[in-house]
Amino acid sequence: MKKLLVLFLLFLLTSCGQKKEKDNSIRVVSLSPSATEIIYSLGAQNRLVGVTNYCDWPPDAKTKEKVGDFSFPSIEKILSLKPSLIIAAGPGQKKTIEKLKNLGIRTKIYHPETLRELYDSIIDIGSILNQTGKAKKIVNEMKKEISQIPKLNSKKIFIEVCSKPLIAASKKTFISDACERIGLQNVCDFPQSYPTINAEWLIRKNPDFILLTGTKEPDFLALYPFFKKSKILAPSNIDIIVRPGPRIVEGLWEIRWLITKKK
């Protein structure tokens, strides 16, 4: 009996040691600013060994080793960091992702197009980084706060991505889904995620608001002076709106506040 007890205790100690070693071995390179923000929100930034030049939030992310730009990061630099996991955003990174996978590096892609998919991404990243409890808490807090944002009634919105040419975010995008959660109806219902449209089409749609995510307000109005300034929503920080991460809560509150100011 004593011998069995000793063996059981040795098993527990070995298992705990293996788990700790496994936790410490997770080395993440993030090719996604959104994923970088999620990792920091989970308090798992010690696992983060490399990020892109665009991973700039929170400020500490700027101190991490840089692997290059978003679309074409340096494979050589990534390999030098000896990652056990690459987290990518998908669109615009296809060639890089293929190369990394061919090299046998575990690569996870997160490109949420809805708030629900964002919640799932946070939970999944939390699970990988052994922060499941923290991830669930973050998601629950996000859901609670978004539910508290006063909803709008039948207000139409156009979400600008680029002004020249005029490119929109359709209903198939994350930012559109997020806006719909506070009662805004996207007038752009195209099969493409980011269609190029013409100003005449937009005039006919007559949205109540135009959300600028790619252009400054004076520049947009200089190109399209026939739109009233009262329609324009120009957020002070675009990143909290377009990045699918925990800060979307702040982004939706800002959109709601900007709309309140227009009344």
Confidence of residue 8 (pLDDT cuts 50, 70, 90): very low
> What is residue 154's predicted lDDT score, i.e. its pLDDT?
85
Q: Is the pLDDT of residue 6 over 50?
A: no
CA distances from 190 to 55, 177, 214, 227 (A): 30, 14, 19, 22
Task: Give me the percent of the chain exceeding a pLDDT of 70.
Answer: 90
Same fold? 23-145, 149-262: yes
Q: Are β-strands 28-30 and 85-88 bridged in parallel, bridged antiparallel, or unpaired?
A: parallel
Q: How far apart are CA 117 and CA 139, in angstroms?
A: 11
Q: Which CATH class is domain 149-262?
A: alpha beta
Q: Is the pLDDT of residue 3 over 70?
A: no
Architecture label for domain 23-145: 3-Layer(aba) Sandwich (3.40)
* Cα angle, residue 103 at apex, residues 101 and 105 outer, rounded to 5°: 60
Confidence of residue 13 (pLDDT cuts 50, 70, 90): very low
Q: Decide: 248 and 241 in contact? Cβ < 8 Å.
A: yes
Give the pLDDT confidence of 45-54 residue by residue, as tens digits.
999 999 999 9
Give the pLDDT confidence of 118-175 residue by residue, as tens digits.
999 999 999 999 999 999 999 999 999 999 999 998 899 999 999 999 999 999 999 9
Q: Is the pLDDT of residue 24 over 70?
A: no
3-state secondary structure of 117: helix
Confidence of residue 5 (pLDDT cuts 50, 70, 90): very low
Q: Is the pLDDT of residue 10 over 70?
A: no
* Domain chopping of the chain, boundaries: 23-145, 149-262
Q: Is the pLDDT of residue 20 over 90?
A: no
Task: Give me the percent of the chain exceeding a pLDDT of 90.
Answer: 87
Quote the mean pLDDT of the chain.
91
Give the pLDDT confidence of 32-79 residue by residue, as tens digits.
999 999 999 999 999 999 999 999 999 999 999 999 999 999 999 999
> What is residue 97's predicted lDDT score, i.e. its pLDDT?
95
Give the pLDDT confidence of 80-124 residue by residue, as tens digits.
999 999 999 988 899 999 999 999 999 999 999 999 999 999 999
Q: Decide: 145 and 125 in contact? Cβ < 8 Å.
A: no
Q: Is the pLDDT of residue 29 over 90?
A: yes
Give the pLDDT confidence of 181-199 residue by residue, as tens digits.
999 999 999 999 999 999 9
